[in-house]
Amino acid sequence: MLWNLYVNENTKLFRRALYWVGLAVLLGMGMAIFGLLFAAVQIPAFSQNIPPEQIVMFKSMLTWPASFYAALQLSWSSISLGGLLAFLLVGVVTAQEYPWRTLNLTVGHGTPRARVLAAKLLSVFTALAGWMLLLMLAVGAFTAFTSWQFAGGPDLGSVNFSHLGMSILRTLFTLTPYVALTFCLAVATRSTVAAIGVVAGFSLIVEPLLIQVISLTGGGLSGVTAYLPMMLSSSLLKANELGAAGMIGAAGGMNPGTAAAAIAVYTGVFLLSAFVIFQRQDLSS
């Protein structure tokens, strides 16, 4: 049963120190960012050197509901710490199964390979969603206090929870091409270093450099960059701006629906490749 495999994968994943260390790093980063914003507004030695319009923006980011959207924007992208932690988690939990030979044991008991990989993939996305939700709860608790400072208290009526929930899902969805590529490379190479290194290098170096180079050349090639995962993510996240009270600037790019479809294609191709490779792998070697 897929459910039993999924529960087993969750048990293995949540017993890893890596998951909890990653969560601690993510929460620490989030609290540090909002703590620095609060200090910049409240401490005269800092605030006197900051333009008034910047102070207004910082206060907005420290007040519900804009604080939730700020947390998503600052913490979750392919080039943020949240994204890098996601690549690390996926690469490690997938590639380490090979030297530990736990895949051999599961498949050796007659469990279909596709089901084994599907359970692992679902467990990984559950873990990433857990990270994101816990970060949002921590930020919400902290900015409930700062909302008292700047707005007289957190206003639950100002929070569009359905839009916020969709924004969280959209933000997680923008990471799926990179997560799927990391997953595919971890399966194909059986190497944690190769999987994480390639995806981190692609998202941090190759994509930004390619976008800059093509933008300088202009011409017909400039439209190609719109279909890079980084630009597709930017286009999709435009839909999150509606709930951010004008805090986040407009991002260029294509229609969010088209961007979502293109992201789904990237993700589907990488995941399909992972499943095909795993079906043909010799796990005894």
What's residue 155's pLDDT? 81
Q: Which of 249, 237, 12 minimizes the C-alpha distance to 116?
A: 12
Q: CA dist 284 to 18, 103, 121, Å? A: 27, 10, 22
Tokens representing 60? 């907005």
What type of residue sits at position 217? T
CA geometry: angle at 263 spanning 262 and 269, to 5°? 90
Q: Which sequence spans correspond to the domains of the chain?
A: 12-280
What's residue 205's pLDDT? 93
Cα gap 31→15, rounded to integer Å: 25
Q: Centre a 10 Å sphere on the Cβ of residue 24 and count the other Cβ atoms it contains.
A: 10
Backbone angles phi, psi at 63, to 5 degrees: -125, 140
What's residue 251's pLDDT? 43
Task: List the pLDDT tens digit at each of the 285 positions of the chain.
Answer: 799 999 999 999 999 999 999 999 999 999 999 999 999 998 887 778 888 888 889 998 999 989 999 888 877 777 788 999 999 999 999 999 999 888 888 898 889 999 999 999 999 999 999 999 999 999 999 999 999 888 888 888 888 889 999 999 999 999 999 999 999 999 999 999 999 999 999 999 999 998 888 887 765 667 788 899 999 998 898 888 755 544 444 444 578 889 999 999 999 999 999 999 999 998 876
Contact 66, 72 (CB under 8 A): no
Cα gap 244→69, rounded to integer Å: 6
Cα gap 204→180, rounded to integer Å: 17
What's residue 169's pLDDT? 93
What type of residue sits at position 46? F
